[in-house]
Structures are given as C-alpha cells and as structure tokens.
Amino acid sequence: MSDTHSEQLLSEVAALPGLPGVYRYFDAQGQLLYVGKARNLKKRVSSYFQKSHDGTRIGHMIGKIVRMETTVVRSEAEALLLENNLIKTLNPKFNILFRDDKSYPYLKITGTRETFRTSAKMPSPSLAFPRMAYYRGVVDRRHSYYGPYPSAWAVKESITLLQKVFRLRTCEDTVFANRTRPCLLYQIKRCSGPCVDLVDSEDYARDVQDAERFLRGETQAVLDALEQRMLVHAEKLEFEQAAELRNQMTALARVLHQQTMDNLSDKDVDVLAVKVHGGRACVNLAMVRGGRHLGDRPYFPAHVDDATAIDDAMADEGDAPAGDPAQRVAVRVLEAFIAQHYLGIAMPHILVTSHAVGKPLLEALSEQTGVKVNAVHNPREHRRIWLEMAQKNADIALARLLAEEGSQQARTRALADALQLPDDQLDALRIECFDISHTAGESTQASCVVFEGHKMQNSQYRRYKIEGITPGDDYAAMKQVLQRRYGKIAEAMRAEDALQPAPAAADAEPVEPVADEAVESAAEPVAGPRMPDLVLIDGGKGQVGMARQVFEQLGLDLSLIVGVEKGEGRKVGLEELVFADGRAKVYLGHDSAALMLVAQIRDEAHRFAITGMRAQRAKVRTGGSKLEDIPGVGPRKRARLLQRFGGVRGVASASVDDLSTVEGISPELADAIYRALR
C-alpha cells in the first residue's frame, strides 16, 4: 500500500510523535477524506500505511490519500473533542456525520435576569410585566431561557400551558404599550391583563416566579405556595382571590396529570436510543426538562458503513467493542452522535442510553461542561419506560426512512426508464428545475431547485432576481435565468475542450508522452458546478422553445431540456412532457411513479419561487430595505426606531425632532433618516 504514496507523505508519517492528537487525510483535489484521533499518533497513523487493506472500504480510502495534517493535544479527551468538532464543521467523506443546521428553540421570559429580579424601580411598564415568547437564536443575558425543546411545537405547547395556569402575557412590547382595553386572551382567561392594569406588578411578579419554578421542575413547591396563598386569602374572607388560586391549582394539577412521563426526581435528562438496519441508522433523542417530557427528534447519520469499517479495522487493541457486529455499529453511531451533538451546547448531566458508551467520551464531556456527566445503561423504573418509548420511536423513524428511500429510488428509476436515461448511476442522477414567479409583473423571481441522490438538495437551491425585462414577460425571465445559470458552465466546458490534445492522424508516427505538469493537470475535470442530467422547465412549448434558444447559443445538449406542460383543464395527473430536441410529447399516466417524481420536483420549484417572490414584494412595499440601507443605522438602532414608531411607516412619518429623541439617534442621523425615507 505504501508504494502508491509519495515519499514526502511517508516521511511525514515516520516523523510523527508518539503523543495524543488528531489526524486528517486529504485527496488530490483537497477534499477532506477522514478525521481520526489517537492516543499515539505515530502508532495509529503508521498502521494505515503498513498493513494491507486491498479490496476493503479502508483500502479504497487509503488509496486516495495524498496529504495529511495532524494536531497534537494534551490528552485523549481533548483529542476526542477536537476530532468531533472537525467532523461537524468540515464534513469529511468517510466519518459518521450527523447533519443538523438548525439550533434548538427555547422558551424565553423577557427581562427577568437583570431588570425584573434586581431593579427596585422598573424603567418601563413592559419590563415590569415580562412576556413569554418562542425564541431561537443568540442568548441575551437580560432574559431567561428554558429548554432546549426538540421542536417549535413543543415550545408553543408549553406557552399555551403556562397561559392557562399562570396567565402571563405573550404580546409584543409595542402592542402592550398601546392597548386601551384587554384583548381576547384576557376574555378566555389566558392572560391577566397587565396592559390595562387589571393586575398589579407584585401579583404578576409572583406568577412569573411560579412559572419559572414550574419550568425548572419545582412543581410541588409551586403547588404548596399556591395552596398557602389560597389559605391566607380564605382566612381574610377574600373568597374571590382564593377561588382564583384554587382554579390555578386545579389547572396545574390537570396539566401534571396529562404529563404521564412526569417524574419529580429527574429534572433534566436526555434519553438516547439507536437503531441500525439496512445500512442506515437512526438516533432518537428524547428530552426531559424540568421533570417534563418535551418530545423527541430522530437523527439520521451519513457514511455509517464506511466509517464503522474504517474504525473497526484501525482500532487499537481493546478499543473495539466486542460482541455482535451490529451492536458494535450501534455503539459507534451512538458515541458519534453524543460527541458531535453536545459540542458547544448546554447539556444535562444524565444521559439514558440504549447502549453502553465508553468512559473516554464521558470524561471528555465532563471536561467540557465542568460537571461530571453520567450515562445510565439498562435503567430501571421510569427511566426504563422513557428508554423503551425512545427505542420504539427510533424503530418507527428508521422504518419510515427506509420505506421513503425505497419509494424515492423506485421513482428515480421509473423516470430514467421513461426518458431512456442511463440507469447505471442513478444515485448520481442530477435534475435541476426552474420556475418563474411574480404578481402582475411585480418582484419577478426565478427559482432553481436541485434533485440529486434520490432527494431534494436544499442547500443547492438558488433564487435569481430578474431585472431589465418587460414586467410579466415569463419567456424573457426564463431566458435570463438559464443564461445566468449555465453561461459560465458552458464557458468552462469550452475551455476544457480547448485544452484537450488533438487526436493524432491515422498515418502519423507515434509520439512519446511528454512529462508536462501543465498538460497533465489540464486533463483533470474542471472543479465547480456541472451540467445536470436533466433540466426541467415548468411550462409548455413556449418556455421550452426559449430554453432551446439559450442552449443553442451556449452550445449545450438540447436533449437535457424537458418541459412539464399542463394537461387538459390543468388537472393534476394529466401533465405531458415536452422535449426541446424534437421528440414527441410523452404522457406518463396519472399513477406513474415517474410523474410523481416530476410533480414533486416541479412543485418544490414553484414553492421556492413563490416564497421568495412574496418576501421580496413585502420588502419593497414596506420599505424595509430603505431603512436597512441608511448608513449609520444598524440592527439595534433600527429595532429602537421600529419599536418607538410601530413600524417603517411610522418612522417615515416622524419628524427630525421625533427621530432624534430615540436613543442612539443623533440630530445629523435623524436628518439623514428623514431624507432617506421621504
């Protein structure tokens, strides 16, 4: 195996120290192949190049290595954290990878950390009466945050629950400051009406404190405090106030009864169950916060087979788990999830897991959090119930994924058969679909969505702002977006063809190959975007004809273009496919798997185009971009202006003197804002 690698790479391997660290392998194109950790860098990395791995997954990966990078660290725990941080940020090709580009949502209670708890005098009524809100983003120290929650639905359910029991407000501060009568939430007993002084600040403060204690899991203490307050009012013959507290206790008891997974001994716990089947894996994460089960979320990692094969082949003695191979894969998937998921985020100190995880991982997490993290395997009592539910949900989620993937692959094959496309590389089949959207010619936008690997590739979607055309001219819009999308690709393809050596004449003498690095590199494929295997156009003959003109000008293959023409009466299932290269129309049939895939891609292009168009239209009509474009008006000043005047229209109608009264707005900047918005 070492014969296929350069002397420089092998010398770097021989010079490695026998210290803990992290290593990274790269291929000839600079793509990161693999990230690994080691207690002894020299011993681990050398074993890749000394052993024979021919015909295996690891052999395939090692054969591509041309460059290596290493980082020495102080301990194995530090190496483990760095390894998974690099995996999460760099997306190597052969590591188990969990992708999650969304932060978790939280329940926010405003102004309770500095203003509400510590200030004797409140600067404004809105701060004197904190509000509950759904929140996702950067944490602000002025507010209190509870969670994380597995989904937005879980946050909103908790807000509804707290409204029923503690009647805290949820309205924006601008709405709160301008109310003259209570809203509907007060009428249905979901709010105590602080906006119109129907509750004093002290009583509201107690409700906020009780809500926060409830969210922290101190439910019994909240019930005891409510009961004590009820008895005090009863002794004073204040029966209306006592009845209100009784109703509050009843509502809280009803909520607790509905939470069948409540347990007062476990405040914050994460329950992790893993299922591996059919080359895919699922990790189901269930969250318990404040003693309440908040729901769960499934995660599906990539590269499971490749990564586990490499890990097993290169594990040091005693590192690889013993027993059933399927169980070893499950353990590796679970450990990869724990290491990647809890990097840089707050985590509970107790994990209930379906498989035992290694001590080095727990030690690394404890070192990161500063508090000892425990993982409970084979739990008892209520924890066993939690784990069984999480395991069942993991089984269901993985079965659903495998069924969906099988169905999607069948649709891809059916479309390839219908259009007579090569079916030997269906996993790499790439389809791009275009759609135009506008409202009576206003805010015209084109969308391009991408289907590849049997699924929609959201990260590769693109929107194009169409300008310089007659409003409402969809043909001109389609021409513009296709030229912008494929113009540079066509130019790169022509440049690549120009660099290819001309074929020798039949009677010419054979010429010895020249060792010219420039010629060899020119034969490499051009990096960057490539032409799709199919270009779908949402439209009939007119749109396809325009696409044909563009492709003829760019010198591209006309057989790639397929239009989706509405059928009789524009009914779903009667669509026909129109071709730019002169082929006859094709009707696939209303129950065709190929038509289902075409409709899925077309509908996604339409959705993506219309949402972008509506956002652009709203931005233009409200003048939001004008305020953002004013020099000197950053996010904070813009937020203060909008809060003070209730929106962009209010800012535009304000005088220079009124604008200058806003914190951070100087008279010169107020004059600039006044002129820009008028």
pLDDT tens per residue, range 202-232: 889 888 888 888 887 777 777 777 777 788 7
- Output 506 or 456, whichever has higher pLDDT: 456
- What is the predicted pLDDT for the residue at 503? 55
HSE-up of residue 468 (Cα within 13 Å, Cβ side): 5
Q: Give yes or no for residue 441 having a pLDDT over 70.
A: no
Could you tell me whether strands 561-565 and 576-579 are parallel, antiparallel, or unpaired per DSSP bridges? antiparallel
**Is pLDDT at 616 greater than 80 in this prediction?**
no
Given a contact cutoff of 8 angstroms between Cβ atoms, the answer to whether 168 and 131 are in contact is: yes
Q: In the predicted model, what is the mean pLDDT of residues 10-38?
A: 90
Residue 657 has pLDDT above 70, yes or no: yes
pLDDT value, residue 262: 42
Helix (H) or strand (E) segment spanning residue 134: strand 132-135
CB-based contacts of 368, cutoff 8 Å, min separation 6: 81, 342, 343
Angstrom distances, CA of residue 145 to CA of 109, 110, 527: 6, 9, 45
Q: How far is CA 449 from the centre of its chain?
A: 17
Q: What is the pLDDT of residue 71?
A: 92
As a whole number, mean pLDDT of residues 600-629 equals 72
In terms of Cβ atoms closer than 10 Å to its own Cβ (0-12, 13-18, 19+), residue 303 is middle
Judged by average pLDDT, the poorest of 109-113, 348-352, 451-455 is 109-113
For the segment 669-676, the average pLDDT, to the nearest whole number, is 84
Whether the CB-CB separation of 309 and 409 falls below 8 Å is answered with: no
Note the pLDDT of residue 440.
Answer: 67
Q: Are strands 280-289 and 292-299 parallel, antiparallel or unpaired?
A: antiparallel
- Separation of alpha carbons 517 and 519, rounded Å: 5
Q: What would the two tokens of residue 632 be?
A: 């000197």
The pLDDT value recorded for residue 254 is: 60
**What is the share, in percent, of the chain residues with pLDDT greater than 70?**
83
How high is the pLDDT of residue 116?
46
Tell me the per-residue pLDDT of 265-322, one tens digit each, with 9 for 90 and over: 567 899 999 998 877 899 999 988 877 777 888 988 888 877 777 776 666 544 555 5
Q: Please give the pLDDT value at position 120.
A: 46
Split at pLDDT 50, 70, 90, the class of 519 is: very low
Average pLDDT on 47-53 reads: 77
- Calculate the alpha carbon distances from 459 to 206, 438, 450, 456 in Å: 46, 23, 9, 9
Pairing of strands 106-109, 67-72: unpaired
Q: What pLDDT is stored for residue 510 in this prediction?
A: 45
Q: For residue 598, what are its two tokens?
A: 């075409």
Residue 525 confidence (pLDDT) above 50: no
Question: Which one-letter DSSP state was computed for residue 549?
Answer: H
- What is the rounded CA–CA span in Å between residue 217 and residue 290? 4
127-141, 516-530, 622-636: range with lowest mean pLDDT: 516-530
pLDDT tens track for 547-572: 999 999 998 989 899 998 887 666 66
Residue the block writes with tokens 């156009």: 537
State the CB neighbour count (10 A cutoff) for residue 101: 6
Please report how the helices 76-90 and 359-369 are oriented relative to each other, as an axis angle in degrees rounded to 10: 80
Confidence band of 101 (pLDDT split at 50, 70, 90): low
pLDDT band at 253 (very low <50, low <70, confident <90, very high): low
Average pLDDT value for residue range 658-664: 85
Residue 354 or residue 302, greater confidence? 354
Cis before 510 (ω within 30): no
Q: Which of 372-381, 638-647, 651-660 has the lowest mean pLDDT?
A: 638-647
**pLDDT value at residue 480:** 92
The pLDDT-based confidence of 618 (bands split at 50, 70, 90) is low
pLDDT value for 54: 67
What is the CA angle 409-529-414, rounded to 5?
20
- How far is 427 from 630, CA to CA, in rounded Å? 48
Least confident of 69-73, 121-125, 136-140, 168-172: 121-125
pLDDT value at residue 526: 39
Average pLDDT of span 352-376: 87
247 contact partners, CB below 8 Å, separation of at least 6: none
Q: What is the pLDDT of residue 351?
A: 93
Task: Tally the residues of the chain.
Answer: 678
- 3 pLDDT more than 70: no
Confidence check: pLDDT of 520 > 50: no
Residue type, 187: Q
Mean pLDDT value of segment 476-480: 91
For the segment 137-153, what is each residue's pLDDT rounded down to a tens digit?
A: 777 777 888 877 888 88
Paired tokens of 135: 């929140």
What pLDDT is recorded for position 508? 45
Question: What pLDDT score was predicted for residue 303?
Answer: 81
Nearest 5°: CA angle at 605, between 604 and 609? 115
Domains of the chain: 2-90 (3.40.1440.10), 106-258 (no CATH), 269-399 (3.30.420), 426-497+529-616 (3.30.420.340), 623-676 (1.10.150.20)
| Average model confidence (pLDDT) across the chain | 80
The model scores a pTM over 0.85: no
Cα–Cα distances in Å, from 621 out to 121, 443, 444, 614, 638? 41, 10, 14, 10, 18
Rg (CA), the chain: 31
Residue 515 has pLDDT above 60, yes or no: no
